[in-house]
């Protein structure tokens, strides 16, 4: 039999804080314990009806009908006109199988004690137990009318409809409870259960959320914004390029702000490099020659562009692991950001080169346009090599250690501080198979000799680099789901 009324209704009087002790056992459905506790309290408060009637109730629920009967008889002599006598006796008869007698007593109670809540609740519960559902509903309704100032009859009534599967009626009752007692959880959470049974999951959620967070959350609108879908199209490509550009700019900004000389380093660094080479090769070794500073700068600055990109890109995917594992962003973005970042940093150095060359008396003319394809080929070549290295390193991290060595080796073989024409002629063709050596020659031909570069070879390198780029990009696409794995493992 339901007993939700216990906690909600049997009100405590201020002097009777002690009653909390047995009530606690009743809430935990420890009926034997509660019967014992009430017996103890009966000694202390024999004049208080609760100690008797709650004790009887505990015995009934514990199934100790004999003890219940004895206690009812004792209580009868003490409180002859108390409605609980009739009600509890009716319950006892019901437990003993005497429904007729039970009903007679309840009818009497209903006539004599219509103002007493338990009269109606017990009548309803017993009617429900006997399968007379219409009658039970009527009694629950009476209970609600009898004590509209208490939540328990509403709860009992709604729970009755829940038990009998009349979800819509139950929802109505829960709503009444909600309106009268907005702070009680049942009105929301149990109503949500009913709504769920009716398949109204949205309403169910609204009910339970409004219990926990209050009604006002439904009025608030979010500042959220629908983001565009994952279609691959021009807008997606522009978005992607913009992403790379933005990140590269931000990286540069944060890098610059950490140094005292900030942007000054962009010029100072190539100058320092050049000074070192100049001192060693021109002053100490006397290996330079005519116009050695220009020769050196024209080789060094394009080389530094290449070198900076490669060394920044090599570990870029590993450094981007946080993003790869959380946003599912294509890994190619990381070497590309490093590329853009390193390239932007080299622009002042290139301007320095041109200014220096002109200051040294070399002519600036239309033949300088040939620099455009040279720079383009270097750009493609650098992207292709940088992205390839960046893709390999997550798989074999040990290669990180080889990158600086490889770059040094390549630098020595690119003829930055010497002219390749000075090496054995039979090795010269082999030497120019190093694309950087070839490109540096092109730069020098244009800048220092006002000559056209070897366009045939340049085109070959350009097409080769383009193919390599396309190939590397397709590898990145293919490895899209492999990179996050390899980074995690």
Please state the closest distance from residue 257 (CB atom) to other proteins, in A: 8
Considering beta carbons, is residue 313 or 381 the nearer one to other proteins? Answer: 313
**108/347 Cα distance (integer angstroms):** 103
Residue with tokens 């060394």: 311
Q: Per-residue x/- marks for other proteins, 285-324, CB under 8 A?
A: -----------------------------------x-xxx
* Residue 4 beta carbon to other proteins: minimum distance, rounded to whole angstroms: 18
Compare residues 210 and 457 and give the one whose CB is closer to other proteins.
210
Residue 205 Cβ, how far from other proteins at the closest point, in Å?
A: 6
Distance CA(174)–CA(171), nearest Å, equals 5
Q: How far apart are CA 167 and CA 291, in angstroms?
A: 96
Residue number, 218 or 427, with CB nearest to other proteins: 218
Contact call for residue 204 and other proteins (CB under 8 A): yes
Cβ atoms of residues 124 and 140 within 8 Å? yes
CA angle, corner 271, sides to 462 and 402, nearest 5?
55
Indicate which single residue of 29, 163, 205, 421 sits in contact with other proteins (rule: CB under 8 A): 205
**Structure tokens that stand for 107 in this block:** 């009818």
Q: x/- site string to other proteins, residues 209 to 238, per CB under 8 A?
A: x--xx---xx-xxxxxxxxxxx--------
Distances (CA, A) of 424 to 288, 409, 434, 445: 18, 19, 16, 20
Least distance to other proteins, CB of residue 103, Å: 38
- Residue (54 or 208) nearer to other proteins, CB: 208
CA distance 163 to 155: 12
Is residue 332 within the footprint of other proteins (CB under 8 A)? Answer: no
Site string for other proteins, 243-262 (x = CB under 8 A): x--xx--xx-xxx--x----
From 44-52, 202-210, 380-388, 456-464, give the range in contact with other proteins by CB under 8 A. 202-210
C-beta closer to other proteins: residue 127 or 207: 207
Q: Does 424 bind other proteins (CB under 8 A)?
A: no
- CA distances to 27, 416, 434, 436 from 409, rounded to whole Å, are 83, 12, 11, 12
Q: Is the dihedral of CA 186, 191, 192, 193 positive or negative?
A: positive
User: Is position 66 an interface residue for other proteins (rule: CB under 8 A)?
Assistant: no
User: Nearest distance from residue 161's CB to other proteins, in Å?
Assistant: 20
Nearer to other proteins, 187 or 462 (CB): 187
Q: Is the dihedral of CA 281, 282, 288, 293 positive or negative?
A: positive
Residue nearer to other proteins on the CB measure, 120 or 483? 483
The C-alpha angle with vertex 471 and arms to 470 and 477, in degrees rounded to 5, equals: 90
First-residue to last-residue Cα distance in the chain: 58
In the complex, what is the shortest distance from the CB of residue 230 to other proteins, in angstroms, rounded to a whole number?
A: 6
Extract the tokens encoding 461: 């390198």
Selected from 132, 329, 352, 468, the binder of other proteins by CB under 8 A is: 329
Nearest to 160 by CA among 184, 135, 180, 183: 135
Nearest to 98 by CA among 69, 139, 135, 55: 69
Write out the binding residues for other proteins, residues 172-201 only, by CB under 8 A.
Answer: 201
Contact in structure between 135 and 126 (CB atoms under 8 Å): no
Using the contact rule CB under 8 A, the part of the chain among 2-10, 64-72, 280-288, 479-487 near other proteins is 479-487
CB of 172 to other proteins, least distance (A): 23
Is residue 263 close enough to count as binding other proteins by CB under 8 A? no
Q: Which is nearer to other proteins, 194 or 440 (CB)?
A: 194
Interior CA angle at 207 toward 203 and 213, to 5°? 135
d(CA 380, CA 330): 20
Judged by beta carbon, residue 115 or residue 250, the one nearer other proteins is 250
Give the nearest distance from C-beta 380 to other proteins in angstroms.
26
Name the site residues for other proteins (rule: CB under 8 A).
Answer: 201-202, 204-206, 208-209, 212-213, 217-218, 220-230, 239, 242-243, 246-247, 250-251, 253-255, 258, 320, 322-329, 481, 484-485, 488-489
């Amino acid at each position: 039999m339901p007993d939700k009324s216990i906690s909600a209704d049997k009100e405590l009087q201020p002097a009777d804080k002690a009653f909390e002790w047995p009530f606690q056992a009743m809430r935990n459905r420890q009926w034997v314990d509660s019967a014992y506790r009430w017996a103890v309290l009966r000694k202390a408060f024999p004049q208080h009806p609760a100690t008797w009637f709650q004790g009887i109730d505990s015995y009934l629920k514990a199934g100790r009908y004999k003890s219940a009967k004895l206690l009812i008889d004792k209580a009868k002599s003490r409180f002859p006109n108390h409605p609980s006598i009739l009600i509890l006796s009716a319950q006892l008869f019901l437990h003993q199988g005497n429904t007729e007698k039970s009903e007679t007593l309840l009818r009497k109670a209903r006539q004599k004690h219509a103002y007493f809540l338990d009269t109606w609740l017990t009548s309803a519960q017993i009617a429900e137990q006997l399968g007379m559902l219409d009658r039970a509903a009527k009694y629950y309704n009476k209970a609600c009318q009898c004590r509209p100032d208490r939540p328990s009859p509403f709860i009992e009534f709604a729970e009755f409809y829940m038990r009998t599967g009349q979800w819509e009626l139950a929802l109505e009752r829960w709503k009444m409870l909600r309106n009268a007692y907005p702070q009680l959880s049942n009105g929301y959470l149990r109503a949500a259960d009913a709504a769920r049974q009716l398949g109204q999951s949205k309403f169910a959620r609204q009910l339970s959320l409004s219990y926990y967070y209050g009604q006002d959350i439904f009025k608030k609108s979010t500042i959220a914004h629908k983001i565009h879908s994952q279609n691959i199209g021009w807008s997606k490509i522009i978005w992607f390029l913009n992403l790379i550009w933005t990140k590269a700019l931000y990286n540069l900004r944060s890098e610059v702000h950490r140094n005292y000389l900030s942007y000054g380093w962009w010029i100072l660094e190539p100058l320092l490099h050049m000074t070192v080479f100049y001192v060693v090769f021109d002053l100490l070794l006397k290996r330079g020659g005519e116009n050695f500073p220009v020769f050196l700068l024209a080789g060094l600055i394009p080389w530094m562009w290449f070198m900076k990109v490669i060394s920044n890109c090599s570990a870029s995917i590993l450094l981007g692991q946080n993003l790869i594992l959380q946003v599912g962003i294509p890994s190619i973005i990381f070497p590309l950001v490093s590329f853009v970042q390193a390239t932007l940093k080299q622009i002042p150095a290139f301007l320095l080169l041109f200014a220096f060359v002109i200051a040294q008396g070399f002519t600036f003319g239309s033949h300088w346009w040939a620099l455009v394809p040279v720079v383009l080929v270097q750009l493609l070549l650098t992207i292709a090599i940088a992205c390839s290295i960046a893709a390999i390193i997550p798989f074999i991290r040990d290669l990180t250690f080889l990158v600086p060595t490889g770059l040094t080796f390549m630098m020595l073989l690119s003829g930055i501080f010497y002219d390749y024409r000075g090496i054995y002629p039979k090795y010269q063709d082999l030497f120019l198979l190093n694309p950087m050596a070839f490109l540096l020659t092109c730069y020098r031909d244009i800048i220092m000799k006002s000559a056209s570069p070897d366009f045939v070879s340049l085109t070959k390198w350009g097409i080769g680099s383009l193919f390599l780029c396309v190939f590397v990009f397709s590898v990145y696409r293919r490895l899209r789901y492999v990179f996050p794995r390899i980074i995690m493992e």
